[in-house]
Amino acid sequence: MKLHHDQSMELPFAKNPTLQRTPKIVLLITLTLILLAIISLHYPLSGLINSIFISKVPSSPSSSSSVQEPEKEIIISSEKCDIFSGEWVPNPEGPYYTNTTCWAIHEHQNCMKYGRPDTDFLKWRWQPDGCELPIFNPAQFLEIVRGKSLAFVGDSVARNQMQSMICLLSRIEYPIDVSYTPNENFKRWRYKTYNFTLATFWTPHLVKSKEADTNGPTNTGLFNLYLDEFDEEWTTQIDDFDYVIISAGHWFYRPMVYYENNTIVGCKYCQYDNVTDMPMYFGYRKALKTAFRAINSLNNYKGITLLRTFSPSHFENGLWNQGGNCVRTRPFRSNETSLEGENWELYMIQIEEFKIAEKQGRSGGKKLRLLDTTQAMLLRPDGHPSRYGHWPHENVTLYNDCVHWCLPGPIDAWSDFLLEMLKMEGIRSFEEEKNKIYASSGKNMRFR
């Protein structure tokens, strides 16, 4: 792989007597070496250089393949490219694990185990418009996150994402359970070889909430949401994490009573007398705002926060509790569907609140990033478990699942996105440190 940069920025290691006698060139070399030493404190040099700048990935990452095709160079530069806008294209190489090789798959997302007859939904990859998005390379990822930690903060879709990552990483190593509680909603896993920790924090509303009625008006529970109060189950736990991915959305469809200052300010379909019925968006926006306020208020938290955007469901021919299902077997093209209605509203609330929080946090040194999976997942009606989350003869009360994602399945692409973002984060850190050193020496040169 070649890194795109100006020829004027080439380091003068060629045998040129004139350059070798130039003090400025000596200074440039010295500053660069100092910079690399500083960066290595955050990224091991082998990981940074090999994983970010000159990484080659095989055309087929599968270690089980007996025929190795020539390596393909992946050109990665810091030039702007929207990796979240694109199409799903055929990928005959996939998937990169199976339901029999990964123990981390939740039963309700183990579609192949429970008889899903088609497999074409496993043979797609995300292709951004105008650039490449490499397939997730587990060895590369583990090298970049060596000695670091990553937390998934949210609901069962966040847990779905963590399990997908564990399965993708299983080609290199399985983690050990280092959870501090037997509660399955708060798991911690450690990759001993890399001293890398994964964690999941259950918080379906991101703010303090309590189930007030297990049945509620729709038999899905009635929840009290304290829209101005932090959920300390996770806000008191993330100080030491290097990366935190927050997400929420689907639980806001349920009946809720909204509180602010411990006073009821409205509800969503609670059917209480003299309580104003408010739209779902009212509670969702305030909950997001409070979650961001919590992150920006943590003095000791120095990590990078990523907002993973809303993952649309794909119920057709009825609502989730009225016979709706998702039986499609191929992705949509981008011109075959569009984000609209409630999905559009939830997504826009996320974008608006993220921009506000990112601006507010920047002044305090906080780093907020957008992991924008919405468009990609909108195009994957074929990737849900549907009825293949249990045996047909089982007496279960589960509905067709068009919210979560089969494993393996489309959600594996979220790790493709995340790895690319971490690579760019490394390049961004490199730029920032280099510019600081040049600034302190009276220079003002930008790395490209």
Tokens at 328, concatenated: 């499609």
- Angle, helices 23-39/413-440, rounded to nearest 10 degrees: 140
> How far apart are alpha carbons 247 and 371 in whole angstroms?
10
Tell me which of 404, 412, 415, 416 is the catalytic residue. 404
> How far apart are alpha carbons 375 and 128 in whole angstroms?
11
Tell me which of 156, 209, 311, 313 is the catalytic residue. 156
> How far apart are alpha carbons 341 and 234 in whole angstroms?
31
Is residue 270 within 8 Å of residue 257, measured between CB atoms?
Answer: yes
> How far apart are alpha carbons 379 and 143 in whole angstroms?
31
Tell me which of 155, 401, 412, 416 is the catalytic residue. 401
**Rounded to 10 degrees, what is the CA torsion of 4, 9, 11, 12?**
130
4 is catalytic: no
Reduced to 3 states (helix: H, G, I; strand: E, B; else coil), residue 89 is strand
> How far apart are alpha carbons 82 and 370 in whole angstroms?
11
Reduced to 3 states (helix: H, G, I; strand: E, B; else coil), residue 374 is helix
CA 419 to chain centre: 9
Classify burial at 75, counting beta carbons within 10 Å of its beta carbon; exposed 0-12, middle 13-18, buried 19 or more.
Answer: exposed
82 is catalytic: no
> How far apart are alpha carbons 62 and 446 in whole angstroms?
38
Of the candidates 233, 241, 403, 252, the one whose C-alpha atom is nearest the C-alpha of residue 306 is 241
Residue 118's CB: how many other CB atoms inside 10 A?
11
66 is catalytic: no
CA distances from 143 to 42, 51, 69, 215, 319 (A): 12, 8, 24, 47, 44
> How far apart are alpha carbons 355 and 359 in whole angstroms?
6
Show which residues are catalytic: 156, 401, 404
